Structure 1
């Protein structure tokens, strides 16, 4: 070890930056945070990672067309597939 270190070029914060991620402050209900912490611990994962995955899944689910009528083309395709497997 050195007797003295030069920190004049040092920077505060995380040593490694996460690419593709942004650090924010967010207010969550205690129950929500408690749920994700317990669930993450049981799964052996990080709770912030799980919150991110839940938000991503919500966005994915919202982008799917909901309550769309079945088209004739889709109905014919499904019937052909079902008749073929029977």
Structure 2
């Protein structure tokens, strides 16, 4: 019987120049409790409703953009 691995050969080099970085990355969601000012929470809830997305998803996106655009304090 022929094995699946019989015809498989590794190349010496592979071209990943057209690959997508982080394509299969899915961050782990963690449940937490935070205290926010009412006006901030209402802003995100109303904005998310208009955009038809969950407000927690919108908060997460805003925080992720902030984190990726700022260096951590020393």
What TM-score range do you get, normalising by the shorter chain?
0.5 to 0.7
**Unmatched 5+ stretches in structure 1:** 1-18, 64-86
Task: Say which structure, 1 or 2, has more relative contact order (CA 8 Å, 6+ apart).
Answer: 2
How many pairs align?
A: 45
Question: Is residue 44 of structure 2 the alignment partner of residue 58 of structure 1?
Answer: no
Structure with higher helix content: 1
Report which of the two structures shows the higher radius of gyration computed on alpha carbons.
1
Q: Deviations over 1:7-26 (max 9, x none)?
A: xxxxxxxxxxxx71000000
**Would you identify which runs of 4 or more consecutive aligned residues in structure 1 move more than 3 Å?**
none
In the superposition, the TM-score normalised over structure 2's length comes to 0.58
CA RMSD of superposed structures (Å): 1.2
SS at match of 1:36: helix
**Unmatched 5+ stretches in structure 2:** 1-26
